[in-house]
C-alpha cells in the first residue's frame, strides 16, 4: 500500500521571511495528518533557512504519525538525529547556494561514511534512507551499505517538457525501482511532484511512499492544508487504482 508523507518545510519558509512565530509548521503537520497523511517530513538544513532545531523537537513530540527527518550526512546532523530519534532519517546532499536539493546523494563515493551513520541509526532504532538519482550503480551502493530504503529523486522527471525525454526518465526510474526491490530495498519517491506529474510515478508499483511538500504547501495557500493533502491523496489513489 502506498503512503503519503507531507513535507512542511515551506510553511517554515514563510515564517522565516519575517522571523516571527507564524505560520507554525507543527500546526500544518497536524492538519496534514487530519487530512490523511501517513507521516510528516522535514528537512533541517545546515543553514537553517526554514526548519529550525526547535521545530524538529516540537514536530516530533506533537505529531502522531511517523517523522521522516531529511538531513545532510554531517556529524552535527547525526548528533541531532540521535537526540530526536525520528522514525527515519533520509540523507540528502546539500549546497549552501542551492535553492532546493539539486540532485541525489553520491553514495558510491562515500560508502564507508554512510555505512557508519547507518550503524549508529540502527543501534538507536532509527530507519535509514538515502535520496538518490535513478541510477542502477547508486542503487547497488545503497544495498551494499545496508540501507533500509531509497528515495528516488523525481526532480529531473518533473522538469522535462518533451514526451520522449519524459518517457526515457520514467524508464530510468522504473528500472531503478525494480532493481532496488530485487535487492531488498524499500522504494520511495519525491521532489517536484504535483497533482499532474504524480500520476505516472504513482503507477510504479514498487514505490510505496511519496514525499511531497512544496506543491502541497503552495496549494494550501489557495484551498487550505487539509484540502490540498486530500486532493494529492485522491490523485495517488486514482493512479494507483487503490485506496491509500
Instruction: Encode 184-218 in three state secondary structure.
Output: CCEEEEECCCCCCCHHHHHCCCCEEEEEECHHHHH
Place of cell 528537512: 43
φ, ψ (nearest 5 deg) of residue 115: -65, -40
CA 146 to chain centre: 19
pTM of the model: 0.95
- Cβ within 8 Å of residue 75, ≥6 positions away: none
Q: Report the SS3 class of residue 164.
A: helix
- Cα separation, 104 vs 119, in Å, equals 21
Q: Structural domain of residue 95, as residue ranges?
A: 3-240
> Domain tally for the chain?
1
Q: Report the SS3 class of residue 208.
A: strand
b/e 113-124 (16+ beta carbons within 10 angstroms → b):
ebeebbeebeee
| Residue 221 confidence (pLDDT) above 60 | yes
CATH number, residue 137: 3.20.20.70
φ, ψ (nearest 5 deg) of residue 92: -130, 155
Tell how strand 149-153 and strand 186-190 pair up: parallel
Cell of 225: 492544508
| Residue 100 confidence (pLDDT) above 90 | no
Q: Using pLDDT thresholds of 50, 70 and 90, give the confidence band for residue 241.
A: confident
Task: Please report the pLDDT score of residue 243 as a whole number.
Answer: 83
Place of cell 508523507: 5
Task: Please report the pLDDT score of residue 102 as a whole number.
Answer: 60
Angle, CA of 95, 97 and 101, to the nearest 5°: 50
pLDDT, one tens digit per residue, over 26-52 is 999 999 999 999 999 999 999 999 999
| Residue 94 confidence (pLDDT) above 80 | no
Residue 9's nearest CA partner among 23, 20, 21, 19 is: 23
Catalytic residues, which ones? 43, 70, 191
Amino acid at each position: 500500500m502506498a503512503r503519503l508523507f507531507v513535507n512542511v518545510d515551506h510553511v517554515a519558509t514563510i515564517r522565516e521571511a519575517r522571523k516571527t512565530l507564524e505560520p507554525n509548521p507543527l500546526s500544518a503537520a497536524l492538519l496534514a495528518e487530519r487530512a490523511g497523511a501517513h507521516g510528516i517530513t522535514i528537512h533541517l538544513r545546515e543553514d537553517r533557512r526554514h526548519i529550525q532545531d526547535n521545530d524538529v523537537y516540537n514536530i516530533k513530540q506533537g505529531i502522531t504519525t511517523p517523522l521522516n527527518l531529511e538531513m545532510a550526512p554531517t556529524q552535527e546532523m547525526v548528533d541531532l538525529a540521535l537526540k530526536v530519534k525520528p522514525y527515519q532519517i533520509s540523507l540528502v546532499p546539500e549546497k549552501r547556494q542551492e535553492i532546493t536539493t539539486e540532485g541525489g546523494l553520491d553514495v558510491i563515493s562515500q560508502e564507508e561514511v554512510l555505512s557508519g551513520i547507518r550503524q549508529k541509526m540502527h543501534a538507536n532504532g532509527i530507519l535509514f534512507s538515502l535520496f538518490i538519482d535513478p541510477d542502477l550503480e547508486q542503487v547497488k551502493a545503497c544495498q551494499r551499505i545496508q540501507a533500509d530504503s531509497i528515495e528516488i529523486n523525481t526532480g529531473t522527471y518533473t522538469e522535462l517538457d518533451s514526451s520522449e525525454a519524459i518517457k526515457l526518465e520514467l524508464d530510468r526510474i522504473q528500472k531503478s525501482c525494480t532493481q532496488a526491490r530485487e535487492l531488498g530495498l524499500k522504494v520511495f519517491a519525491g521532489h517536484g511532484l504535483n497533482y499532474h506529474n504524480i500520476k505516472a510515478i504513482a503507477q510504479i508499483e514498487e514505490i510505496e511512499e511519496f514525499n511531497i511538500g512544496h506543491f502541497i504547501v503552495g496549494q494550501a495557500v489557495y484551498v487550505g492544508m487539509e484540502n490540498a493533502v486530500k486532493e494529492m491523496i485522491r490523485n495517488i489513489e486514482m493512479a494507483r487504482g487503490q485506496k491509500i
